[in-house]
Structures are given as C-alpha cells and as structure tokens.
Structure 1
Amino acid sequence: MDRLTLLKTFVVVANEGSFTKAAVRLDTSNQLVSKYVAQLEKHLDTRLFNRTTRKIHLTEAGRQCLQHANHILESINDMESQLGLFNTQAKGTLHVSAPVSFSTLHLAGAIGAFQHAHPHVSINLQLNDRKIDVIDEGFDVAIRAGHLASSSLVAKKITTINLALCVSPAYLKKYGRPLHPSDLKPEHYLEYSYVNYDNNQSELIAALKANAQKSPPKLTANNGEVLTNVAKQGEGYVLQPTFIVGEALKKGELVSILDEYIPQSIALYAVYPHRKLISNKLRVFIDFLCNYFEDTPFWDR
C-alpha cells in the first residue's frame, strides 16, 4: 500500500478519535483502517496511538506524525490545485520553435495578438529552419512547413502554403520567359538549402533536380528572404512559398512563371509530443494560430 494512503487514513483516525468513525468517514471497513494504521506504525517503527477499550489517544510520536502528515497532505493539495490551473487556464511559458522567415514576416504579428488575448502566457521563441527534435530540445511545439514524416509526434495543420517560381521583370527581359521546366537555366537557380523534395513527383521538381546535376545553383542559401531579394535584382529564379514572395508579386517586383508546373500546396503544421496530455496553454495557442491564419492565409487573398 502506498504511504500517501496510509497517511490519509492515519489523519482521519486522529481527527475522528476512533477507528470506527474513521471507517465510516472513509467508507471502508474498520479492519482495513486498523490494518493501514498498523502498516504505518510498522513503517515508521513507532506507536502512533495508545488504545483503550473505549478510546484511542495519540502518542507523542503520533502528534508529531500528525503535524508532518497534515503538512504533506496540504502541500499535495496545493500542488494538485496549482497544476489543475494549467489545464483550465492559459497560463505558463510556451517554448516554441519556428522557421525564420515565416516568423519575422508573419508569426510576430500572430504572437502579439495571442499575448494580448492571453496575457498570462509567456512565449520563448527560437527561430531556425533546420529540423529540430521537439522532445530532446525541450520544445512544447514546433511550427514546421512541408510534408511531415511519420513519427510519434502529433501534427495539426495551421494553414495552407502555396509555392511560386519567381523571376524579376528584368530577368524576363534579358532571358525571355521559360515555357517549360526544361527551359530553365540550371546556372540561374537560387536554391533554398533546407528544402526536401524527395517525395514530390512534379515535372518542375524533376527538372530542378536534373539541372542541379548539370550545373551548381547560382546561389544556395538557408534563408528564403535572401534568395527572394537576389531574385528581385534579376540574378536568377527562385522557388519559394508565397508567404515570402507574395508581397513582391503584388508589387510587380517579381513575376510568377510556369504556374501550371508548380508543385502542389504544402501545409504549415504545429508539431507537438502528446495528444492526450496537451496543456491548455498549448491548446489555445494552436487554436489561435489556426483561426488567425485560416486555411487560406491573408497573403494569398
């Protein structure tokens, strides 16, 4: 029998002054109450009660034990109450990993709005584009884009991410508009180094892979904003999500090409370790992001 149950039984007996009354209070048998008290006395190697035919009295050791037991049980109740708040209120610190460009361009605004709505939640945000281990690196949630590999983690879709192959008007004026992926010049490709198209069978991706074998890309970088800015200068073509290139497309700084060959949309996910034990602070954070960005995000409207 666990010691917590023994302590609870002992405290009730001490407060009631009777094994029989304690049994009624605990809705159990008199014999079981006596057994638990005897087990506690054996564990502590001391007598807790002096027993007479009519009444029981705490020994000196019993009085000391009662003080400690009350303190222990009160501390446990306080802990349970405090931890219970974490499941009913959005409160505490969230450790979040997220992509660099998406965070600087769009997530910052969402976090500001979230914290205005949930002022008792603090966020520790770490930005990186590499694949991180959510559990080993101590994150509550990772925001990630793309086709996710199967794992023990839970992934909830936040929004849809569309891709666009872009060049500047100056590039088109100088080299002409490609009409087919095979028309792309491999030496002009501005490549995002973290991208993984292994599971994508589109004709455009096949062409990019084939071109990479013919000639190294003009530029490889681990930041989509840098690649987009280079593309604006007419130095090559870039395949990027519209949350990065959308504004440049609207302003005419970039032009989308080969639209009919663009790979299918991907998704932005919230990836976290547990489904059943998800804290309320994480639940409201993910729900907030889903409502904030919606399935068709504002940069594509």
Structure 2
Amino acid sequence: MKVDDIILFSQVAELGSFSKAAEVNSLTNSVVSKRIARLEKEAGTQLLYRTTRKLTLTEAGKALNHNAKSVKQAARVAMDSVAGFGESISGRIKMSVPCISGELVLADAVAEFCNLYPDLKIDMSLDNRFVDLVDGGYDLVIRTGYLEDSSLIARHIIDSQWVVCASPSYLSRCGRPLKPQDLSGHNCLQYAYQTTGATDWAFKGPSGNYIVKVSGSFSTDNAIALRKAAIGGHGIAYVPRCLVYHDLRHGQLIDLFPELVGKRLGIYAIYPYTRQPPNKIKLLIEHIRTRYLEISHYF
C-alpha cells in the first residue's frame, strides 16, 4: 500500500465524499476513485460501500481508517520537523523581555542575532508586565514565572534563583539576621514586581517552603533601583541572584541565607500557539538559550 493512498482514503472517510477529497487535493474525481480502488486491491478487501447518496466504511475500512490517522499524524510531524529550513531569515520580529534579563544578556544577544541575519529587524521592548501576545502583536516574549494561558507555547530556558542580601554597611549598622524570622526586625526593601507579593518572602523549611512577612520603608517595581538602594546600605533586598551576581562576588552585597531562599523561577521563551513556529523564531530562541546557558552560573 502507498502511504499517500492511505492518507487520501482517510480524507475520503473524513469528508464523506470523493469529490470533496478531490477538491482538497486538487485532483479529479476519477483519480481519487482509481487510487481508492488500487488501495482496495492491495488490501484484498472492500473498504467502502458506495451509493449515490453517501459513502459508508466497511469493517475493514473502519480498521484501516483508525490506523490511517496515525499515518497522517506521522506525515504531518515529519513535514513539520523540516518546515522553515528553506525559508529566508528576514522580516520583523516584535518581542518583549523583562528588564533584568534585557539589560543582563538579551540586549547584546538579540543585537548579535540581527547582525547574523541582516535582512531581519527586531523590535525589543523591556517590560516586566506579562504582555498580551495576541492583542499586542508580539511574536516572542521572554518571561520569568509561571505560564497560565494554555493557548501559548513555552520553552524553558533556565531557572533563576533568588537571594536575600544586604550591604556590609547596613549589617554593621543594624546587625545581621541569623534566621529568616529575624527579618521582621529589619528594614526590608520591597520589589513590587513579585508574583507572590512584595512583602511575602519564601524560604525553605523541613516541611517545604514557608513565608516570612516583611516590612520596610522603600518599595519599587524597578530592580535596578532596588539593587542601588541595597548597595547604598538602606536595607535588605530579596532579588534574583543574576541581578546582584557581581555585587556578591565583589563584596558590595552579602548573601544572608545562601541555602534557605525558597524562590526559584523558570525563565521561558513564549510564543503564540501554532503547529510550527517560523524558523526565525526557532533560531532566535535557540540563540537566546545559548547565551543564557553561557552565564548559567549567574542564575
């Protein structure tokens, strides 16, 4: 049996008509009829009952049609796997990325990708909000957190560990908390862009994560401002480690609970659901992922 005949038979069964299958495949009715007859000859049994009013599957036809769906799916997957490899990398990509990642790695990585493909233009906005991909016309979004919309596809890139840190000057002036519960007596700088809440800091415990409620005099939705406030000795911050990686290494900030912080979020490349994304999107995601992994120790 020829695979394309099996797929054609499945279409006839699904559409209930030789003429409709012929139209879908740009064939004549006689060609469809001849190919189904050839399939029946190869099978050694009748697959369809034909009347002037409708087509009905025989028992053998039902069995073949059931398995033909797998053949169609396998053919589709095979074609999808190579789709786009022959297309030129050109046009425009509109993307949104979070502020920290944008400044840390993505600005350079995306600009580098544009240089690799001179016919491509990328419009990249830095925004911590989870933008609406469809309404906003975005082709790709990089986000940290959790994916709730099932109409979107997410590819995991890397996990981002958070830290609790403070400057040596703050610790010298106010004392160092010895356990997470001690934070209630300190000025805690709050990052307003937190899915769990700016005053809810998660820590690891014997029975799983628990929350310590904190308070403080300063709150901001800008991570860079929060980092500067912490370095300036104004309080204790709860931030992604990648934001303060160099500050921790150079002693400008001290990691207070290196084994106890319970917040670890995935970083994802997210795009609208399609059976097969454009090749330029797949290549850009892979390029971004490679650049993240090159500095995985930051995270």
Q: How many angstroms apart in 1 are the aligned matches of 2:149 and 2:202?
A: 19
Q: Is the 8 A contact 1:178 1:258 kept in 2?
A: no
Greater mean alpha carbon deviation, residues 190-199 or residues 173-182:
190-199
Matched with 1:124 is 123
The alpha-carbon distance between structure 1 residues 267 and 88, as it changes in their structure 2 partners (threshold 3 A), is: same
The alpha-carbon distance between structure 1 residues 250 and 155, as it changes in their structure 2 partners (threshold 3 A), is: same
The alpha-carbon distance between structure 1 residues 139 and 86, as it changes in their structure 2 partners (threshold 3 A), is: farther
Matched with 1:202 is 203
Matched with 1:279 is 278
Matched with 1:50 is none
Cα drift, residue 85 of structure 1: 7.1
Q: Is the 8 A contact 1:129 1:194 kept in 2?
A: yes
Matched with 1:247 is 246
Matched with 2:42 is none
Identify, as 1 or 2, the structure richer in helix: 1
Matched with 1:232 is 231
Q: SS in structure 2 opposite 1:252?
A: coil
Q: SS in structure 1 opposite 2:248?
A: helix
Aligned positions of 1:44-55 closer than 5 A: none
Cα drift, residue 120 of structure 1: 2.2
Aligned positions of 1:259-274 closer than 5 A: 259-274=258-273
Q: How many angstroms apart in 2 are the aligned matches of 1:91 and 1:186?
A: 56
Q: Deviations over 1:156-185 (max 9, x none)?
A: 012221211110001111122211111014
Greater mean alpha carbon deviation, residues 289-298 or residues 128-137:
289-298
Q: How many angstroms apart in 2 are the aligned matches of 1:87 and 1:130?
A: 35
Cα drift, residue 145 of structure 1: 0.5
Cα drift, residue 99 of structure 1: 0.8
Q: How many angstroms apart in 1 are the aligned matches of 2:257 and 2:169?
A: 17
Would you say 1:211 and 2:210 are equivalent positions?
no
Cα drift, residue 28 of structure 1: 6.6
Look up the equivalent residue of 1:109 and give its one-letter code. Answer: D
Q: How many residues were matched structurally?
A: 224
Q: How many angstroms apart in 1 are the aligned matches of 2:184 and 2:263?
A: 22
Q: How many angstroms apart in 2 are the aligned matches of 1:267 and 1:109?
A: 21
Matched with 1:39 is none
Matched with 2:109 is 110
Q: How many angstroms apart in 2 are the aligned matches of 1:281 and 1:248?
A: 36
Matched with 2:133 is 134
Q: Is the 8 A contact 2:202 2:211 kept in 1?
A: no
The alpha-carbon distance between structure 1 residues 86 and 222, as it changes in their structure 2 partners (threshold 3 A), is: farther
Q: How many angstroms apart in 1 are the aligned matches of 2:279 and 2:91?
A: 10
Identity value in percent: 28
The alpha-carbon distance between structure 1 residues 114 and 298, as it changes in their structure 2 partners (threshold 3 A), is: farther
- Provide TM-score, normalisation by structure 2: 0.66
Matched with 1:188 is 187
Q: How many angstroms apart in 2 are the aligned matches of 1:200 and 1:178?
A: 14
The alpha-carbon distance between structure 1 residues 233 and 97, as it changes in their structure 2 partners (threshold 3 A), is: same
Larger Cα-atom Rg: 1
Q: What stretches of structure 1 move > 3 A for 4+ residues in a row?
A: 26-30, 84-87, 198-208
Q: Is the 8 A contact 1:101 1:223 kept in 2?
A: no
The alpha-carbon distance between structure 1 residues 200 and 251, as it changes in their structure 2 partners (threshold 3 A), is: closer
Q: How many angstroms apart in 1 are the aligned matches of 2:281 and 2:227?
A: 33
Matched with 2:88 is 89
Q: How many angstroms apart in 2 are the aligned matches of 1:202 and 1:229?
A: 24
The alpha-carbon distance between structure 1 residues 91 and 298, as it changes in their structure 2 partners (threshold 3 A), is: farther
Q: How many angstroms apart in 2 are the aligned matches of 1:219 and 1:186?
A: 15
Cα drift, residue 201 of structure 1: 6.0
Q: Is the 8 A contact 2:105 2:292 kept in 1?
A: no
Q: SS in structure 2 opposite 1:294?
A: helix
Identify, as 1 or 2, the structure richer in strand: 2
Q: SS in structure 1 opposite 2:109?
A: helix
Q: SS in structure 2 opposite 1:125?
A: strand
Matched with 2:56 is none
